[in-house]
Amino acid sequence: MDIAMQQQAFERLEKQLRQKEKELYSIQRIGKALSSTLNLDELLKLIMQEITTLMDADRSTLFIVDREKGEIWSKIALKAEVKEIRQTLGKGISGYVAETGKAINIPDAYQDNRFDPATDKRTGYRTRSILCMPVWNPQSAEESREIIGVIQVLNKNDGIFSEEDEALLESLSAQVAISIANARLYSRLEKKFREIDLLYDFEQMLNSVQELPKMLGRLLVHTLDHLEARWVLGYVPHEGKYFFFATDRQHRIYFESAASVSLGWMNFVQQPT
């Protein structure tokens, strides 16, 4: 091997070493963030920034799967010209990955018939190379694995994404999955604690000496706050009378009647838009 070839080999090894160092530092930063914050938005934004840097890409997007609506939506979209991107499951590259669970590495987006150019047309952006990876729920069983998201990385700066990029993104997608799972668990625990607090407040109110209309109003306002709803209403029979109360915080409706409306006890909640 002549000196020129040795020099080229040395430069390749040096480049690979620098890349591995970058990967190690990024994984360390992600690990530190995982252990220090439960703010899902901050955590996912940091991870997506690290992914974009490591992939040497122009931008990246994290999509969350919404099974009820049959679509995916952009939770984190770095450098995107639009506030939110929504895609039907099975449509476009990211929708295809969300539906099939298959990773995709495309050197030229416009040569792939699965690519949907609608976002490019709307924003003026030109998509070239794409690397798209499913995010699997780490808490689901192996035989019934659930896709909870998709990571899409666009336009590698020096050409197309490599097999090494695929392996690295697959590894990093596991970090994203853990972040989402931890945040969801924390959210469920918070909800349980709020429910316990609400039941305790209800018990205190029921044990206090106060008129039924006043107590009913307080109970429903507490329910409204707990559910983060727009409206809540209640109807209850008491000592031959029937009490009705509704509120949206700003307005309150209350009346009592000697006649039954045959509703028993009920509540109606409309979630915020």
For residue 24, give its domain range: 3-186
Phi, psi (deg, nearest 5) at residue 37 = -145, 145
Check residue 199 and give its pLDDT: 78
Report the SS3 class of residue 240.
coil
Number of domains present in the structure of the chain: 2
Are 38 and 142 part of one and the same domain? yes
In a domain, 203, yes or no: no
Are 180 and 218 part of one and the same domain? no
User: Among 42-51, 106-115, 226-235, which stretch is predicted with the lowest mean pLDDT?
Assistant: 226-235
Supply the DSSP symbol for 76: E
| Choice between 43 and 8, residue whose per-residue pLDDT is larger | 43
Amino acid at 267: N
Are 123 and 230 part of one and the same domain? no
Q: Which of 237, 120, 232, 98 is nearest to 173 (CA)?
A: 98
Are 65 and 14 part of one and the same domain? yes
Determine the average pLDDT of the residues in 155-174: 91
Are 10 and 144 part of one and the same domain? yes
Determine the average pLDDT of the residues in 48-56: 88
Check residue 69 and give its pLDDT: 92
In a domain, 196, yes or no: no
| Choice between 38 and 43, residue whose per-residue pLDDT is larger | 43
As a whole number, the mean pLDDT across the chain is: 78
Instruction: Answer whether 218's CB lies under 8 Å from 205's CB.
Output: yes
Please report which confidence band the pLDDT of residue 227 belongs to, taking 50, 70 and 90 as the band edges: low
Check residue 174 and give its pLDDT: 87
Handedness of CA 201, 206, 211, 216 (dihedral sign): positive
Is the pLDDT reported for residue 23 higher than 80?
no
Are 217 and 82 part of one and the same domain? no
User: Among 81-90, 98-107, 157-166, which stretch is predicted with the lowest mean pLDDT?
Assistant: 81-90
Check residue 106 and give its pLDDT: 96
Centroid of chain to Cα 45: 11
Q: What is the rounded CA–CA span in Å between residue 181 and residue 143?
A: 19
Percent of the chain with pLDDT over 70: 67
Other beta carbons within 10 Å of 243: 20
Are 110 and 213 part of one and the same domain? no
Q: How far is CA 16 from CA 1, 9, 55, 247, in A?
A: 21, 11, 13, 64
Please report which confidence band the pLDDT of residue 184 belongs to, taking 50, 70 and 90 as the band edges: confident
Are 232 and 98 part of one and the same domain? no
Please report which confidence band the pLDDT of residue 269 belongs to, taking 50, 70 and 90 as the band edges: very low
Check residue 100 and give its pLDDT: 94
Check residue 268 and give its pLDDT: 42
In a domain, 198, yes or no: no
Last residue of a domain, which of 155, 186, 217?
A: 186
Is the pLDDT reported for residue 38 higher than 70?
no
Are 68 and 134 part of one and the same domain? yes
- List all residues 6 or more positions away from 182 whose beta carbon is below 8 Å from its beta carbon: 34, 38
